[in-house]
Amino acid sequence: LRVPKRYRHPALEERLSRRRTAQEARSLLRCRRAGIPAPVVYFVDYVTNSIYLEDIVDSVTVQDHIYSVQKSGDDTSSFHKLAEKMGELLARMHDEDIIHGDLTTANLLLRPPTEKLDLVLIDFGLSFISGLPEDKGVDLYVLEKAFISTHPDTEMMFQALLKSYAATSKKSGPVIKKLDEVRLRGRKRSMIG
């Protein structure tokens, strides 16, 4: 039984403008209604632009999880399953036309117990709604770069993630294509500007 914490953990810094706050709240609601795990919104304060969110108790970030498994020399084959689940989750998110905007392994939480691979997406501060494959491709590219820079020796992971993404998303073709294009360009910008 997960007891909802009362109004704790303002998850948002005050420098965010009202529009960003509204966008984040909107994305969070949109995720939840589509069954995509994201924290519950308890209260939105438009005066300080803070969002009070559910506290995912005793969770670890995927980032920390990868570190600790690698550090302890544990079997990294579990990473494959984790990557698959990540790919699946992101595919579902993108199919709802939700662009996260800041995909990193620090913005993906694992609920306890970690072995269950129960993922929760957090930090939608830069999120927006878009159906464009370019935006989705960039979203994935950001994650890929984050993977490469933060987690050495995880190339297979991202591959597995993409495979799972492609298998789950109905619209993945154009997205992967755009991802390839963005990789070639080496930047995360849309040429449409």
Partner 1 sequence: MERTHRLELFPDRSVTLLLFQHVKNAAALRKKAMEGSIDGALISPAMIVDPFQVLVAANKAVHLQKIGKMKTRTLYAEIIFSLSPSNNISDAFKKFGISDSDTAVLIVLIVDGDKTVNLAEIASQVEGQQVSLDELPQLTDTAKVKKMYKVTPQEEKIGSLLDSVVCRMSTKDVL
Active-site residue set: 102
Helix (H) or strand (E) holding 85: helix 78-95
CB of 80 to partner 1, least distance (A): 24
Comparison of 5 and 80: residue with beta carbon closer to partner 1:
5
Residues 26, 173: Cα–Cα separation, whole Å: 27
Comparison of 42 and 128: residue with beta carbon closer to partner 1:
42
CB of 4 to partner 1, least distance (A): 6
CB of 174 to partner 1, least distance (A): 24
Alpha carbon of 37 to those of 64, 89, 109: distances in Å?
19, 9, 10
Residues 92, 95: Cα–Cα separation, whole Å: 5
Comparison of 44 and 132: residue with beta carbon closer to partner 1:
44
Q: Are 142 and 103 contacting, i.e. CB atoms less than 8 angstroms apart?
A: yes
Comparison of 6 and 71: residue with beta carbon closer to partner 1:
6
Binding site for partner 1 (CB under 8 A): 2, 4, 6-8, 22, 25-26, 28-29, 32-37, 40-45, 47, 52, 54
Helix (H) or strand (E) holding 45: strand 41-45
Residues 92, 86: Cα–Cα separation, whole Å: 10
